[in-house]
Amino acid sequence: MIDAGSALEAMLGGYAVFVIGYFIALNGSYAGLFLFASRAVLGHLRWDPSGGYQQTFTSPFTKPISLLLPAYNEEVGIVDSVHSILGLRYPELEVVVINDGSTDGTLEKLRDAFDLRAIDRVISGTIPTERVRRVFMSRRHPELVVVDKDNGGKADALNAGIDVARYPLVASIDADSLIEEDALLRVVRPLVEDPERVVAAGGIVRVANGSRIESSRVVDVRLPRDRLPVFQIVEYLRAFLAGRGGFSAINSLVVISGAFGLFRRDVLLEVGGYARDTVGEDAELVVKIHAHMRRSGRPYRIVFVADPVCWTEAPATWRQLMRQRRRWQRGLAETLWRHRRTVANPRYGAFGTIGMPYQLLFELIGPAIELSGYVAVATAFALGVLEWQLAAAFLVLAVLFGILQSASALVLEEWSFHRYRRSRDVARLFAYSVLENFGYRQLLSVARARGILDAMRGTTGWGEMERAGLAEGAEGSGR
Amino acid sequence: MAAVLITTFVVGTALTLVIALLVTRHAQRTHAERKRARIRDELRPLVIEMVADEAAPAPEELRGLSGLRARMLGELLGSYATTLKGESRRRLVGLLEQEGYVDQAVAALSSRGAWKRAAAAQSLGEMSSSRAVQPLGETARDDADPIVRMVAARALGSLGDPRAVPLLLEAVERGVPPTIFAGAAIRIGEAAVPLIERAMEEGVQPDLLCDVIGRIGVSDRPAVIRRMLDDPEWEVRTSAARAMGRVGGPASVPALLRLLAGDRWQVRAAAARSLGRIGEPEAFEPLVEASASGDYWADRAAAEAACRLRDGFARLLIRAPDLNPALLEAIESDVRFEPLLELPPSSAIPRRLAAAGASAPFEELREAGARDD
């Protein structure tokens, strides 16, 4: 007869070995990504130590861009957003605002501010969308087009924008994001240098909370007083500079942020645009492009450019943050499920054998393994099968690895873009890269685990988006 | 347990080093930025004084500098050299050469560090000295680092010297993006055209070179490009069609009209745009016909081109209400459409446009027409 205690001990022992192995694999992968990312970021800085992009601006080979701005009930900030985008430094730009069936005064505000008149714009209809009611052009700004359509969600709005766009490159941004003045010049560079192969490029998203904003531009980068956005700043540096930079270097970038991405329009049309039935439409699009290009056998690259910056408002309350992470995790799960045949499939190159397995093993199920690890450790400890010294040592090791990851990202930031100029801001960022290991990460794992459950249950919808807005003047929001 | 402890020790050590690196780098960078700002503030008025007064000799304070001050001066002078023209620019470049900054940067092209070589190439581009053509060309062709090659090629282009053209073509063969060559050649301008056309005749990168000729807008031998309109590769035909719009003139119209009937939408669109740019009225009917092929982007290009032709806009208005959607959009997007909205609704043009399906304010006319029916 099997001794239940021995069986439990064996199970816990086996699970402990698994967790240790998982932990080594996770941190080893991150270290590899970090090395790739460092090489790419520092190489990029060699390319233009002065940081100027005058030649990109004046080159006739810099292709024109249609910049899509989906808007739903944005009457408060839409005019400022559009003014800000019209002021972007780029030789030839078309701004397509897609009013996605707003129930407030978004369209009226645009009409009044930009003196719109209706035109009979031919829409290719390549990607089916909800009904487009009217298309307007601005008398004052001929480069501005406004599409008024029935509500269909963000993905549907972007698809309508792709259909209406007249230029070979399409960029998508969020209405509440702030794009730096020469961000387009920076993000377009890979597509200028390698127009045949590069099909998409994404920039870095930074947290604007606490920074000083004037005329919709971040003029002084600062940390917010509140703790929660500071944690997210550390996280974003880790995720973007190290994570995305690393994946981009091996052509396995799995997501370009919906807040700021640039695509070749012909490729978007080939893949049918954004998927409407997922909350992770930005990741799903990029994965879909990878799969499509691999299947068609055409050489291609999807690139992360660390230079061009989009500033966004990070959630300032736990409720907003948890909801956001739950939604992101659900989106990731939906994307992985939809494209499951690419996972660990050598036919899809590094994307299939490295990028997608990483997302599955570490990003998707990582939170579940982490939380189950805590339960296992606590159970083992309670049953007396685990030495407290070993548990403590492993915990210390895990925390040190976590700090090392974030601190490395900070060093890369300091070595490259050096956006946080104040010594106390850098010190505070380091302090938070320590503190995040004592509760912040664990709570996010709970939210992410719930996101996986949501995906399994087939939950739909985005939920309510609450934003305080990035206020102009002395300090942006952070309260 | 031992393994865990050892790993913890190793990771702890790594973390300590990372923290030290963070602190050191931040302090170093902050200090360097302040120092550079201070030096820049000292040197800038002297440089401006020198630039403003062409007759005065260069200030003594700008001579014999070394180290960071010399590098900062080189950067400042270089930044002004790229924006100034004529005698002021020659003086600046002369000072850079005389004070040895150009030679220092040329020597730095052989540094061990790729970062230093790239920075040296960048500075040579800014300093605009013709002494840098050959060294930059060799770097663009031969450097082991692809980024250094790109920076050198870009810098070479900014010198505006036609001697750079064959060197840049060699750099393209070694992986420098063709767009860098193209940008450089366009900056060099007309002086680059004979060299480029010779390369085209030798079969080097015909589609790229066609595009470059087109952008420069000058050709000594347009017949060379005209021959490429019949090239078996559609990319070459597209580039040649684009170039013809700028260098071909009315003599290119028959060849471009032939391309309007081609099978590739990219070629048809490029031919249409060039016909619109050339503006000859004989292209009107073929363009109107080409705007209804069903291929969205080619139709749009043909419609816009028809509108651009000499008297094209007026002819399209007369043609209304028989306008396909692409032609209607082309008219409505044209700046000349705006005044038509002020016309009395009873006049002929608004009535024709309403019948063609144009949007408000002609909607009322359209509805009125429907009621009359």
Which tens digits make up the pLDDT trace of A40-75?
888 777 666 554 477 778 777 889 999 999 999 999
* Residue A203 vs residues A168, A171, A327, A423, B79: alpha-carbon distances, Å: 19, 11, 22, 26, 28
The answer for residues whose C-beta is within 8 angstroms of residue A124's C-beta and 6 or more apart is A163, A269, B296
Predicted pLDDT of residue A450? 93
d(CA A305, CA A187): 6
Tell me the chain B residues in contact with residue A166 when contact means C-beta distances shorter than 8 Å: 300
Contact across the interface for B15 and A400, Cβ inside 8 Å = yes
Count of CB pairs separated by less than 8 Å, A with B? 122
d(CA A397, CA B69): 47
Tell me the whole-structure pTM to 2 decimals: 0.88
Q: Which CA distances in Å does B156 have to A419, B160, B371?
A: 31, 8, 69
**Residue A240 pLDDT grade (very low, low, confident, very high; cuts 50, 70, 90):** confident
Contact B222, B255 (CB under 8 A): no
Cβ neighbourhood burial of A214 (10 Å; 0-12, 13-18, 19+):
exposed
- Which of A50, A61, A265 to mutate to probe the B interface, most B CBs <10 Å? A61
Q: Look at residue A48 in the predicted model and tell me its pLDDT.
A: 65
Written as one letter, the residue type at A411 is: V
Q: Do A120 and B114 touch (CB under 8 A)?
A: no
Q: Is the pLDDT of residue A230 over 90?
A: yes
Dist CA B342 CA B370 (whole Å): 22
CA dihedral in degrees (B145, B150, B154, B155; nearest 10)?
0
Q: What is the pLDDT, as a whole number, of residue A126?
A: 87
CB contact under 8 Å between A61 and B183, yes or no, is yes
A10 lies within 8 A of chain B by CB: no
Indicate which of B26, B115, B324 best probes the interface with A, i.e. most A CBs within 10 Å of its own CB. Answer: B26
DSSP B58: P
How does residue A478 score in pLDDT terms, banded at 50, 70 and 90?
very low
- Indicate which of B1, B5, B8 best probes the interface with A, i.e. most A CBs within 10 Å of its own CB: B8
Q: Are A114 and A144 in contact (CB under 8 A)?
A: yes
Task: List all residues 6 or more positions away from B123 whose beta carbon is below 8 Å from its beta carbon.
Answer: B74, B75, B78, B101, B105
Sign (positive or negative) of CA dihedral B81, B85, B89, B93: positive
A143-166 pLDDT, tens digit each: 999 999 999 999 999 999 999 999
- The closest CB to that of A411, out of B25, B30, B211, belongs to B25
Which residues of A fall within a CB distance of 8 Å from B145? 46
Query: B26 vs A426: CB contact, 8 Å cut-off?
Result: yes
A194/B357 CB distance under 8 A: no
Are A396 and B8 a contacting pair at CB < 8 A?
Answer: yes
Least confident residue range of A26-35, A107-116, A376-385: A376-385
Please give, rounded to a whole number of angstroms, the shortest distance from the CA of A405 to a CA of chain B: 9
What integer is the mean pLDDT of A288-304?
95
Please identify among residues 380-399 of chain A the ones whose CB lies closer than 8 Å to any CB of chain B.
387, 389-390, 393-394, 396-397
pLDDT band at A130 (very low <50, low <70, confident <90, very high): very high
The two three-digit tokens of residue A441, written as one number: 């990460």
Asked if A193 lies within 8 A of B179 by C-beta distance, the reply is yes
Tokens in use for B138?
Answer: 């060799």
Provide the token pair at A316: 């300032």
Helix ranges (H only) for B189-311 are 193-201, 206-216, 222-228, 234-247, 253-259, 265-278, 284-290, 296-308
- Inter-chain touch B15–A121, beta carbons under 8 Å: no
Q: How many C-beta atoms lie closer than 10 Å to residue B63's C-beta?
A: 12
How high is the pLDDT of residue A477? 38
B281: DSSP letter: G
pLDDT at position A474 is 42
Mean pLDDT taken over chain A: 88
* Tens digit of each residue's pLDDT, chain B (373 residues): 777 788 888 888 989 999 999 999 999 988 988 999 999 898 888 888 877 776 666 677 777 777 788 778 877 877 777 777 777 778 788 888 888 888 989 999 999 988 889 889 988 988 888 999 999 999 999 999 988 998 898 888 888 888 888 898 888 888 888 888 888 888 888 888 888 888 888 887 788 888 888 888 877 777 888 888 888 999 899 999 999 988 888 988 999 999 999 889 999 999 999 999 999 999 999 999 999 998 888 999 999 999 999 899 999 998 888 899 999 999 988 888 888 888 887 788 888 888 888 875 666 555 555 544 4
Name the burial class of residue B173, with classes exposed (0-12), middle (13-18) and buried (19+) by CB atoms within 10 angstroms of its CB: exposed
Residues of B in contact with A121 (CB under 8 A): 329
Out of B115, B329, B335, closest to residue A119 by CB: B329
Nearest 10 degrees: CA dihedral of A449, A453, A458, A462?
Answer: -40
CA of A415, closest CA in chain B: separation in Å? Answer: 7
Residues 6+ apart with CB under 8 A from A138: A114, A115, A116, A144, A145, A146
- A118, A139, A401: residue with CB nearest B359: A118
Residue from A53, A122, A166 whose CB has the most chain B CBs within 10 Å, to mutate: A122
H-type alpha helices, B143-233:
146-158, 164-173, 178-188, 193-201, 206-216, 222-228
HEC string for chain A: CCCHHHHHHHHHHHHHHHHHHHHHHHHHHHHHHHHHHHHHHHHHHHHCCCCCCHHHHHCCCCCCEEEEEEECCCCCCHHHHHHHHHCCCCCCEEEEEEEECCCCCHHHHHHHHHCEEEECCCCCCCCCCCCEEEEEEECCCCCEEEEEECCCCHHHHHHHHHHHCCCCEEEEECCCCEECCCHHHHHCHHHHHCCCCEEEEEEEEEECCCCEEECCEEEECCCCCCHHHHHHHHHHHHHHHHHHHHHHHCCCCCCCCCCEEEEEHHHHHHHCCCCCCCCCHHHHHHHHHHHHHHHHCCCCEEEEEEEEEEEECCCCCHHHHHHHHHHHHHHHHHHHHHCHHHCCCHHHHHHHHHHHHHHHHHHHCHHHHHHHHHHHHHHHHHCCCCCHHHHHHHHHHHHHHHHHHHHHHHHHHHHHCCCCCCHHHHHHHHHHHHHHHHHHHHHHHHHHHHHHHHHHHCCCCCCCCCCCCCCCECCCCCC
Does the interface ipTM go beyond 0.95?
no
Query: Which residues partner with A117 through β-bridges?
Result: A137
Of A3-7, A11-15, B11-15, B187-191, which one has max mean pLDDT?
B11-15
A60 touches chain B (CB under 8 A): yes
Partner residue facing A47 (CB), from B151, B328, B358? B151
Give the SS3 label for residue B283: helix
Query: Tens of pLDDT along A384-442?
Result: 777 778 778 888 888 888 999 999 999 999 888 888 999 999 999 999 999 999 999 99
Q: What is the full DSSP assignment across B41-55? A: HHHHHHHHHHHH-SS
Q: Which are the contacts of B130, defined by CB distance < 8 A and separation ≥ 6?
A: B159, B161
Could you tell me if A28 lies within 8 Å of chain B, comparing CB atoms? no
| Residue A476 in this model has a pLDDT that exceeds 60 | no
Q: Which has the closest alpha carbon to A199: A287, A276, A289? A: A289
Non-local (6+) Cβ contacts of A53 within 8 A are: A182, A185, A186, A189
Per-residue pLDDT, B300: 92
Whether A464 shows a pLDDT value over 60: the answer reads: no
Q: In this predicted structure, what is the pLDDT of residue B222?
A: 79
A124 shares contact with chain B (CB less than 8 Å): yes
Out of A50, A124, A166, the one facing B122 most closely (by C-beta) is A50
Q: Cβ contact (<8 Å) for B150 and A137?
A: no
Whether the pLDDT of residue A29 is over 80: the answer is: yes
